[in-house]
Amino acid sequence: MKVKLAKTAGFCMGVHRAMDLVLNEANKGEGPIYTYGPLIHNSQVIDLLKSKGVIPIEDIREIQGKKGTMVIRAHGIPPGEREILRSSGLRILDATCPRVARVQAIIRSHTRKGFTAVIVGDQDHPEVIGLQGYAEGKAHVIGRPEEVATLPETEKLLVVAQTTQDAQVYREIQKAVRARYPKAVIFDTICDATHNRQQEVKSFSGHVDCVVVVGGYHSGNTQRLVQVSEGAGLRTFHIEKAEELDRERLASMEVVGVTAGASTPNWMIKQVVQEIQGIRSRREARLGPWLRKVFKILMDSNLVVAFGGYSLSYSAEILMNRDLDFVHPGIAFLYIYAMHVLNRFLDKGASTYNDPAMACFYRRYRIPLMFSGILAILGSLAIAIRLGPSVFLIMSGLCVLGIIYSVPIVPLRRRRLFRYTKIKDIPGSKTLSESLAWATVISLVPLLEPSPPDSSKALVAFFAVFSIVYVRSALFDIFQAQGDLIVGVETLPITLGEKRTLLLLKSVTIIGGLGLLAAPLVGAVGSFSYLLLLCYGTLMMSILAYEKRWLYPGTSLEALVEGNFFLAGCLGFLWHHLA
């Protein structure tokens, strides 16, 4: 089944920020955390937050005598309630969305100047309740153009909208207000995130057979998305989780559009997309889903990344001007496979959120996967012995480091004294250690052999492998940031933030490309280096594909990123046979 995933699906900026703030706080483990009302309207996420000790409080009176941190959610709260929280002694973490805070500020400044505020929105919505508080009693809430007639006579009227209001309804209300109050001050306060999401659903019209909207049944913006989709004449299914998909009815479709409310996490969207892709459309040939399934199994089992390592090692051999054999790419394949498979079993459950299908695959094939991982280690060490005692020693050290990377190394008694008990806990260590390990196995270990490559060539190969793997590894960290944040793994995007990480990756790609461009000019390596520049071009394309939302994290984007390794191998093969 073909899926068209909306670029705007999932957490908006405000929800993203609120979740990051709360999860970062929960991962510190410094006492209880309360949220004033549920953080977002998604029962699965709320359950998950509860499992991390984040407790929603519905009534402000419940805070009496409590100690810990109180989070103000993205909707914001009235100033009176903020005052009560402040005087309660609880530490306050304000996750009010900056766009909601802007509307609050507009209302406060205008009502202080004598304006009467009109808030277009749902009377009972927490954001609207919060906004009303900033008007100090001078606010009216309306939801339909006809209600403009019920407003009082005034010279000074301010009109704002709840940030998730329907743009069309707000336009109609604005028209009615202008007709009755020509001097009214009207602000366009509907959030772009909401508007763009609704526009994108409308744009599905004529391109998909139906739309699946993923999100909480109590989430206002998800419900509105459903209404917009239905209003555009699209057959629409509203689901909260993948298990609710109507597979029978979807099988009669050919292309399914998927979008999600602002409170739907990536892992849920991904799960829904994977489920739909797995449904065989009655109009679709059998080959498509079958190929997708095979690719997914190869990805989940880490065979794709291991073959990628083989491919990269093969092209590094050419870059180092060595005689081609299967020994060096083979050792890279076995080492990378073993480390990826064995570390999956020690990842504290991040994959449960990032890729539930993969987590299930690992649970089901636990024994054979573990066994194959151990065999791969032994295989890589057996080859290393043949390459000399120094190679064997270094490879043994790298295997031990790779395993202890995810294992606590601080003794149990001392753990309370250290924030980081494993190498993996050190912020950004995953990306760095992975790229260093690949680059060492592929280009530095051969320097210890009886007939080593030229050291300048090995250094250029090290630089190339390091930069390509660094970008690949960090991109996957970005795709998996929500799950990593939940389990408290401080990967690069969690430490630096997504924007800065993407900037760093672009810089690494450009520096890597310039390095490969300069290396043949100073005689360090041959002209094959120029050909490898293509890999940096596709790396940059992968970064942009994610940043510009040309592709959503999932099979296609992961295939594009992993494809860089195979491109390197193919370029090496062509160079070897044609040059």
**Least gap, CB of 75 to ligand SF4 (angstroms):** 7
Write the DSSP symbol of residue 408: -
Measured from the Cβ of residue 95, the count of other Cβ atoms closer than 10 Å reads 23
Is the Cβ of residue 102 or residue 348 nearer to ligand SF4 in the bound state?
A: 102
Residue from 194, 264, 352, 542 binding ligand SF4 (CB under 6 A): 194
Query: Within positions 307 to 336, which residues make up the interface with ligand SF4, using CB under 6 A?
Result: none
Q: What are the residue ranges of helices labelled H in 232-324?
A: 247-250, 266-278, 287-300, 303-319
Residue from 9, 74, 475, 502 binding ligand SF4 (CB under 6 A): 74
The DSSP code sequence of 123-173 is TT-HHHHHHHHTTTT-EEEE-SGGGGGGSPP-S-EEEEE-TT--HHHHHHH
CB 278 within 8 A of CB 245: no
**Least gap, CB of 229 to ligand SF4 (angstroms):** 17
User: Does residue 219 belong to the site contacting ligand SF4 (CB under 6 A)?
Assistant: no
Output the residue with the shortest Cβ distance to ligand SF4.
14
Residue from 22, 193, 214, 502 binding ligand SF4 (CB under 6 A): 193
Is the Cβ of residue 15 or residue 485 nearer to ligand SF4 in the bound state?
A: 15
CB 11 within 8 A of CB 222: no
* Residues shown for the chain: 579
User: Does residue 95 belong to the site contacting ligand SF4 (CB under 6 A)?
Assistant: no
Pairing of strands 139-142, 91-94: unpaired
Residue from 54, 191, 376, 398 binding ligand SF4 (CB under 6 A): 191
User: Does residue 100 belong to the site contacting ligand SF4 (CB under 6 A)?
Assistant: yes
Is the Cβ of residue 111 or residue 163 nearer to ligand SF4 in the bound state?
A: 163
The Cα–Cα gap between 476 and 350 comes to 13
User: Does residue 12 belong to the site contacting ligand SF4 (CB under 6 A)?
Assistant: yes
Burial tier of 249 (Cβ tally within 10 Å: 0-12, 13-18, 19+): exposed
Which sign, positive or negative, has the C-alpha torsion 350, 355, 360, 365?
negative
User: What is the residue whose two structure tokens read 């496979």?
Assistant: 337
Alpha carbon 380 to its chain's center? 33
**Least gap, CB of 8 to ligand SF4 (angstroms):** 11
Q: Is 54 helix (H, G, I), strand (E, B) or coil?
A: strand
**Least gap, CB of 74 to ligand SF4 (angstroms):** 4
CB 259 within 8 A of CB 214: yes
**Least gap, CB of 102 to ligand SF4 (angstroms):** 9
Is the Cβ of residue 22 or residue 191 nearer to ligand SF4 in the bound state?
A: 191
Alpha carbon 516 to its chain's center? 30
User: Does residue 164 belong to the site contacting ligand SF4 (CB under 6 A)?
Assistant: yes
Residue from 14, 145, 257, 265 binding ligand SF4 (CB under 6 A): 14
Burial tier of 119 (Cβ tally within 10 Å: 0-12, 13-18, 19+): buried
From residue 372 to residue 391, the character string flagging contacts with ligand SF4 as x (rule: CB under 6 A) and all else as - is --------------------
Contact segment (CB under 6 A) with ligand SF4 among 6-14, 284-292, 444-452, 541-549 equals: 6-14
Measured from the Cβ of residue 70, the count of other Cβ atoms closer than 10 Å reads 22
User: Does residue 264 belong to the site contacting ligand SF4 (CB under 6 A)?
Assistant: no
Number of residues that bind ligand SF4 (CB under 6 A): 14
**Least gap, CB of 309 to ligand SF4 (angstroms):** 40
**Least gap, CB of 13 to ligand SF4 (angstroms):** 4
For the chain, the first-to-last Cα distance in angstroms comes to: 42
**Which strand (E) or helix (H) includes residue 359?**
helix 356-364
Residue from 41, 73, 82, 99 binding ligand SF4 (CB under 6 A): 99
**Least gap, CB of 194 to ligand SF4 (angstroms):** 5
Residue from 15, 245, 395, 475 binding ligand SF4 (CB under 6 A): 15
**Which residues are marked as active site?**
127
Which stretches of the chain bind ligand SF4, using CB under 6 A?
12-15, 74, 97, 99-100, 163-164, 191, 193-194, 262
